[in-house]
Amino acid sequence: MSNSQTIPASASPTASSATTGHLAFAPAVFWQWLAGPVWLLAALVTWKLPDRDDFPDTGQFAFLLFAVGLCLLALTAIGRLRERAPWALVLGLGLGAWEVMQAKFLLLPRPFFGTPQDLLDVFLTDWKRLGDSLLHSLLLLVIGYVSGSVLGIITGVALGRSHHIRYWVRPIMRLIGPLPPVALLPLTFVIFPSTRLAGEVLMALAAGFPVAVLTWSGVSAVDHAYYDVARTMGAGDRFLVLRVALPAATPQIFVGLFMGLGASFAMLVVAEMLGVKSGLGFYMQWAQGWAAYPNMYAALIVMSLMCTTLMTLLFKLRDHCLKWQKNGLKW
């Protein structure tokens, strides 16, 4: 039945092509069946062609390529590869080409350009330290970002709703808001007892400012008629803030949350490279100091996976909170 699978194949594969009895050449199907074999071929080349130097883990890398190739074939067979096929194919080609160029013929200067197995070796031998760094980064980031965002939302709502708070807080916001949080790095490292705490404060500041400003602007822009509707039905301040102002400002708040997340990513790397003695930024700094380039690449990959995952989670949260909106950017 598998040759009846086409790219937009629905969840219920029908036997239509079998019953009509003609098997037309479908390029989509062809591409899908090519992805797996490309990886298998890359595995074969890695395994059979001799390495140019004494590289680690060639066998493991070949096995990895082989395993992925089999998985892709299986996915094609059950019709789940679909529009991912071209990407799978190109990735296989790319890894194969990299392997041949560097491990088999050594065309690019070392050590800046490693081989795929060098990179794989880092993950296989140093995964503990990488994982530990990831955990530390994640903790620093999440604690700083979440507390900054919560404080930002509270500040923004207060600014949008109260004259008194506006009077006192606005000048402070205007003074320190536009300052890049990085500029406060030396100061915070002096003020706070631990570099970790200093990093968290900086992260919270980096996230909190855009969140506060956009929440404020969102709350000030709430249509006054929304308040009138609730007030005639007996709503008090609590309801007006939590159930009218906040939901009405949610689209703006999310813009702030996205900006804040980007700012905290930047802040995270800087803080870890300049003070905090743990985390992926620290790991990268260390790897570069020892000219351990594969380690640096590995940390870079882990960091980018972390950032994109967090970004995706935030998009998911936004889609959930703003499902009442007509449309939004797809991540």
Q: Which of 105, 85, 92, 104 is nearest to 64 (CA)?
A: 92
Cα 133 from Cα 259, distance rounded (Å): 24
- Peptide bond between residue 116 and the one before it cis (omega within 30 degrees of 0): no
Q: Does 242 bind other proteins (CB under 8 A)?
A: no
Residue 226 or 286: the one with the smaller Cβ distance to other proteins is: 226
Q: Which of 318, 264, 301 is nearest to 139 (CA)?
A: 264
Least Cβ distance, residue 219 to other proteins (angstroms): 14
Residue 42 or 219: the one with the smaller Cβ distance to other proteins is: 219
Residue 45 or 321: the one with the smaller Cβ distance to other proteins is: 321
Residue/partner pairs of 134-137 with CB below 8 Å, 24 or more apart: 134/280, 134/302, 134/306, 136/278, 136/279, 136/280, 137/268, 137/272, 137/278, 137/279, 137/280, 137/281, 137/303, 137/306
Q: Which stretch binds other proteins (CB under 8 A): 16-24, 43-51, 239-247, 253-261?
A: 239-247
Least Cβ distance, residue 243 to other proteins (angstroms): 8
Neighbours of 184 (CB within 10 A): 18
Q: Which stretch binds other proteins (CB under 8 A): 17-25, 178-186, 243-251, 279-287?
A: 243-251
Q: Which stretch binds other proteins (CB under 8 A): 45-53, 107-115, 242-250, 283-291?
A: 242-250
Q: Contact with other proteins (CB under 8 A): which of 250, 252, 278, 295?
A: 250
Q: Site mask, other proteins, residues 216-235, x = CB under 8 A?
A: -------x-xx-xxxxxxxx
Q: Does 273 bind other proteins (CB under 8 A)?
A: no
Residue 130 or 222: the one with the smaller Cβ distance to other proteins is: 222
Residue 60 or 220: the one with the smaller Cβ distance to other proteins is: 220
Size of the residue set binding other proteins (CB under 8 A): 20
Cα 68 from Cα 63, distance rounded (Å): 9
Q: Does 241 bind other proteins (CB under 8 A)?
A: no
Residue 47 or 227: the one with the smaller Cβ distance to other proteins is: 227
Residue 19 or 232: the one with the smaller Cβ distance to other proteins is: 232
Which are the contacts of 9, defined by CB distance < 8 A and separation ≥ 6?
A: 79, 82
Rounded to a whole number of angstroms, the CA Rg of the chain reads 27
Return the DSSP state at 317: H
Q: Does 27 bind other proteins (CB under 8 A)?
A: no
Q: Contact with other proteins (CB under 8 A): which of 62, 134, 206, 244?
A: 244
Does residue 53 sit in helix, strand or coil?
coil
Q: Does 13 bind other proteins (CB under 8 A)?
A: no
Q: Contact with other proteins (CB under 8 A): which of 248, 259, 310, 314?
A: 248
Cα 190 from Cα 198, distance rounded (Å): 9
Q: Does 320 bind other proteins (CB under 8 A)?
A: no
| Token digits of residue 169 | 């807080």
**Taking the C-alpha atoms of 181, 186, 189 and 192 in order, what is their torsion angle to the nearest 10 degrees?**
-70
Q: Which residues bind other proteins (CB under 8 A)?
A: 223, 225-226, 228-235, 239, 243-244, 247-248, 250, 324-326
